[in-house]
């Protein structure tokens, strides 16, 4: 081989290596552009601009075809969207159709000599023929677009068009993958958004239904509370007497109001009275009214609560506090619907629905003879037990935020709870129930040092929790001062032989304090205390001296377990 032929071959080889390196760099840069987070149009714009620098083309564009919407997304090199679309519309439809339908590249070495471009017009100045290269962008089962470039032939040899086709085909494959991913993401996003909107509508409908089915002034979403609300709404439609049983602070007055508001008597008077707040003589005057001169100070006739509630609802709270003598008078009104004012002789007839409430064990009072059984059966036609707050912990956060909202509105502040503060509230038993929770929130809000209530703002964090002191002292109080405790099934014959209220009051309660089964009658003896202490120690040893675990074994709360350990002087072992 002569030196004259060796030099051109070396130059051709160097040019080939140069083109290969340039193509590799181009693919690398284009792949980066397509994988960079951006809108599809912006990514395609970057790709076509990179092609312009690597291929030295005059014009070029990327067109994506959407068969469903019958729209076309066109991006040109250095062009505005309108200019790119105008150029695309000038490309002969037959040429674009051949690329899309066949799925094969289209190479026109000289546009002026091609029959496909006979109607395209003048595409260059004299002596500067131009070539056209178009490659398909393929999706999963069809052609989704095309990459088209136009370049002057003078910038490269005719044989380089084959290299351009291979390069553009690789770019088109990358673009096709990017389009497929973007389409998949868009579809998933649309599906998720649709599902999100559907769920939002369902939740809104559920909230609307709950608001319509619920009671607006009773806050809570726990199953226990929803069950009570359902019973209240169902029983409110009839005129039967209702007995609300529950611990102090569970909201008996709110439920009594709900019974009236959801009843056919809602447009009639709703009268309420706390029986424990008045003496027997005053209570009689309050309920039945009095005539002028009936007693000292009765300067005029006064209607009683029964008369005022005629046609409506009368709510008697703490009904177990009325005396046996007054119970007989109350029974007559409930049975016959008639009474006389104090100091009067005229019989008055009324139509009143009775709603009574108690935080004591009314059945126990009946068995001990402290409450008339015939009155009990008259007022307890529909008994409803209100759950204590510790049995519906899901409602603590809702109630706490509502009480804080009211405090903010009353005092013109904007306090909020921290997450840890809300966890502290959720961990408390609240023996005083909703009333105690409200007091805790208001006290903490009043003493908060910042706009956000934190753990250190609570009284329990500073050993000043009144509930803890109250809970400790409750170990030595009478059962009559406790929250409502359901009476277990007993033998009626044995019940008749039970001692009176005064004797029974000396017994320890069977609800919140720890008590061994079968030792209720002997719980004041040294032997019973020793058995109880031994049972505590046994459970603590079985639980590895983990107080919470031992409490679960005994069916107690951790707070009750702590009280029992302190009561019997048991020191918790530390390991």
pLDDT in tens, 140-185: 778 888 888 887 765 544 447 777 888 888 888 888 888 888 778 8
Residue 70 pLDDT? 63
Q: Are residues 229 and 296 in the same domain?
A: yes
Higher pLDDT, 231 or 509: 231
pLDDT tens readout for residues 507-525: 333 333 444 333 344 445 5
Write out the two tokens for 316. 């008697």
Helix, strand or coil, per DSSP, at residue 61: strand
CA distance 291 to 85: 98
Residue 24 pLDDT? 78
Q: Which of 14-23, 30-39, 111-120, 323-332 has the highest mean pLDDT?
A: 323-332
Alpha helices in 349-432 (DSSP H): 362-367, 373-379, 394-411, 419-426
Q: Are residues 45 and 157 in the same domain?
A: yes
Helix 466-473 with 558-567: angle, nearest 10 deg: 50
End residue of a domain, out of 186, 214, 237: 186
CA distance 214 to 228: 10
Mean pLDDT, to the nearest integer, of 194-207?
74
Residue 123 pLDDT? 44
Output the domain CATH number for residue 273. Answer: 3.40.50.300
* β 313-317/270-274 pair status: parallel
How would DSSP label each residue in 314-373? EEEESGGGS-HHHHHHHHHHHHHSEEE-BT---EEE---EEEEEESS-HHHHHHTTSS-H
Q: Are residues 279 and 364 in the same domain?
A: yes
- On average, the pLDDT of the chain sits at 78
How would DSSP label each residue in 90-150? HS-HHHHHHHHHH-S-EEES-GGG-GGGTTS---S-TT--EEEEEEEEE-SSSEEEEEEEE
Helix, strand, coil percent content, the chain, rounded in steps of 5 = 55, 15, 35
Q: Are residues 235 and 343 in the same domain?
A: yes
Write out the two tokens for 144. 């989704």
Q: Minimal CA–CA distance to 65: which of 146, 140, 132?
A: 146
Q: Are residues 152 and 283 in the same domain?
A: no
Residue 82 lies in a domain: yes
Output the domain CATH number for residue 73. Answer: 3.30.450.40
End residue of a domain, out of 387, 421, 455: 387
Residue 480 pLDDT? 40
Helix 547-554 with 558-567: angle, nearest 10 deg: 100
Write out the two tokens for 429. 């038993």
Least confident of 328-332, 438-442, 486-490: 486-490
pLDDT tens readout for residues 93-106: 888 888 888 888 88
Q: Are residues 247 and 376 in the same domain?
A: yes
Residue 3 lies in a domain: no
Distances (CA, A) of 277 to 302, 314, 318: 19, 16, 9
CB 65 within 8 A of CB 99: no
Residue 186 pLDDT? 79
CB-facing half-sphere around the CA of 405: CA atoms within 13 A: 6
Helix, strand or coil, per DSSP, at residue 165: helix
Please classify residue 485 by burial: count the beta carbons closer than 10 Å to its beta carbon, then call 0-12 exposed, 13-18 middle and 19+ buried. middle
CA distance 421 to 442: 14
Residue 197 lies in a domain: no
Residue 502 lies in a domain: no
Give how many domains the chain has, as a whole number.
4
Residue 445 lies in a domain: yes
Q: Is the pLDDT of residue 223 over 70?
A: yes
Q: Are residues 270 and 305 in the same domain?
A: yes
Q: Are residues 311 and 169 in the same domain?
A: no
Higher pLDDT, 228 or 294: 228
Q: Are residues 422 and 365 in the same domain?
A: no
Secondary structure of 506-554 as H, E, C letters: CCCCCCCCCCCCCCHHHCCCHHHHHHHHHHHHHHHHHCCCCHHHHHHHH
Residue 508 pLDDT? 37
Q: Are residues 457 and 443 in the same domain?
A: yes
Residue 483 lies in a domain: no
For tokens 């007054």, the residue is 326
Please classify residue 430 by burial: count the beta carbons closer than 10 Å to its beta carbon, then call 0-12 exposed, 13-18 middle and 19+ buried. buried
Output the domain CATH number for residue 541. Answer: 1.10.10.60
Residue 575 lies in a domain: yes
Mention every residue, 6+ apart, whose C-beta is less than 8 A from residue 574. 545
CB 172 within 8 A of CB 138: yes
Write out the two tokens for 215. 């009671």
Q: Which structural domain, as residue segments, surrounds residue 125?
A: 16-186
Mean pLDDT, to the nearest integer, of 548-572?
79
How would DSSP label each residue in 259-316? HHHTSTTTTS-EEEEEGGGS-HHHHHHHHHEE-TTSSTT--S-EE-HHHHTTTSEEEE
CB 545 within 8 A of CB 572: yes
Share of the chain above pLDDT 90, in %: 18
Supply the pTM of this predicted model.
0.49
pLDDT tens readout for residues 397-440: 999 999 999 999 999 999 999 998 898 888 888 888 999 999 99
Residue 567 pLDDT? 81
Mean pLDDT, to the nearest integer, of 350-359?
93
CB 383 within 8 A of CB 240: no
Residue 126 lies in a domain: yes
In this prediction, residue 484 has a pLDDT band, given cuts at 50, 70 and 90, of very low
Q: Are residues 35 and 152 in the same domain?
A: yes
Q: How many CB atoms lie within 10 A of CB 372?
A: 17
Helix 223-235 with 252-261: angle, nearest 10 deg: 40
Q: Minimal CA–CA distance to 336: which of 322, 325, 347, 321?
A: 347
End residue of a domain, out of 387, 402, 419: 387
Higher pLDDT, 210 or 219: 219
CA distance 544 to 533: 17
Q: Is the pLDDT of residue 357 over 90?
A: yes
Q: How many CB atoms lie within 10 A of CB 275?
A: 22
CA distance 65 to 338: 88
Element at 66 (helix H, strand E) = strand 59-66
Q: Are residues 399 and 456 in the same domain?
A: yes
Element at 383 (helix H, strand E) = strand 382-385
Output the domain CATH number for residue 397. Answer: 1.10.8.60
The terminus-to-terminus CA distance of the chain in angstroms comes to 95
For tokens 């039967």, the residue is 240
């Amino acid at each position: 081989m002569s030196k004259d032929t060796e030099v051109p071959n070396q130059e051709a080889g160097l040019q080939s290596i140069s083109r290969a390196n340039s193509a590799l760099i181009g693919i690398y840069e284009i792949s980066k552009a397509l994988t960079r987070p951006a809108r599809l149009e912006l990514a395609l714009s970057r790709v076509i601009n990179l092609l312009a620098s690597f291929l030295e083309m005059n014009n070029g564009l990327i067109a994506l075809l959407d068969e469903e919407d019958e729209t076309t997304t066109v991006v040109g090199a250095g062009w505005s969207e309108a200019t790119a679309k105008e150029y695309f519309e000038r490309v002969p439809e037959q040429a674009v159709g051949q690329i899309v339908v066949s799925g094969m590249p289209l190479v026109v070495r000289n546009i002026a000599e091609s029959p496909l471009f006979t109607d395209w017009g003048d595409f260059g100045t004299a002596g500067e023929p131009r070539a056209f290269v178009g490659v398909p962008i393929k999706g999963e089962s069809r052609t989704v677009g095309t990459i088209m470039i136009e370049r002057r032939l003078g910038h490269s040899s005719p044989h380089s068009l084959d290299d351009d086709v291979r390069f553009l085909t690789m770019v088109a494959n990358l673009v096709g993958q990017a389009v497929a991913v973007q389409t998949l993401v868009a579809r998933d996003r649309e599906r998720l958004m649709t599902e999100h909107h559907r769920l939002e509508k369902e939740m809104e409908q559920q909230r609307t239904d709950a608001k319509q089915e619920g009671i607006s002034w009773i806050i809570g979403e726990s199953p226990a509370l929803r069950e009570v609300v359902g019973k209240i709404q169902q029983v409110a439609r009839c005129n039967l007497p209702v007995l609300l049983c529950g611990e102090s602070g569970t909201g008996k007055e709110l439920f009594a109001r709900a019974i009236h508001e959801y009843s056919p008597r809602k447009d009639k008077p709703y009268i309420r009275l706390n029986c424990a707040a008045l003496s027997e003589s005053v209570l009689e005057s309050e309920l039945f009214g009095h005539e002028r001169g009936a007693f000292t100070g009765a300067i005029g006739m006064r209607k009683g609560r029964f008369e005022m509630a005629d046609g409506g609802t009368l709510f008697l709270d703490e009904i177990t506090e009325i005396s046996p003598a007054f119970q007989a008078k109350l029974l007559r009104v409930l049975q016959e619907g008639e009474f006389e004012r104090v100091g009067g002789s005229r019989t008055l007839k009324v139509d009143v629905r009775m709603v009574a409430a108690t935080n004591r064990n009314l059945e126990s009072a009946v068995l001990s003879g402290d409450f008339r059984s015939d009155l009990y059966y008259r007022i307890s036609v529909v008994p409803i037990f209100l759950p204590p707050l510790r049995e519906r912990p899901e409602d603590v956060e809702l109630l706490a935020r509502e009480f804080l909202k009211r405090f903010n509105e009353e005092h013109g502040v904007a306090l909020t709870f921290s997450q840890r503060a809300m966890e502290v509230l959720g961990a408390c038993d609240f023996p005083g129930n909703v009333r105690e929770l409200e007091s805790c929130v208001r006290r903490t809000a009043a003493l908060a040092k910042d706009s956000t209530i934190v753990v250190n703002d609570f009284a329990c964090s500073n050993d000043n929790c009144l509930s803890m002191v109250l809970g400790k002292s409750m170990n030595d109080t009478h059962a009559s001062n406790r929250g409502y405790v359901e009476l277990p099934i007993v033998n009626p014959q044995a019940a008749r032989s039970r001692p009176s209220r005064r004797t029974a009051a000396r017994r320890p309660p069977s609800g919140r304090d720890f008590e061994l089964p079968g030792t209720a009658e002997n719980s004041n003896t040294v032997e019973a205390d020793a058995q109880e202490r031994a049972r505590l120690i046994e459970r603590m040893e079985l639980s590895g001296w983990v107080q919470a675990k031992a409490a679960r074994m005994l069916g107690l709360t951790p707070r009750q377990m702590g009280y029992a350990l302190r009561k019997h002087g048991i020191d918790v072992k530390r390991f």
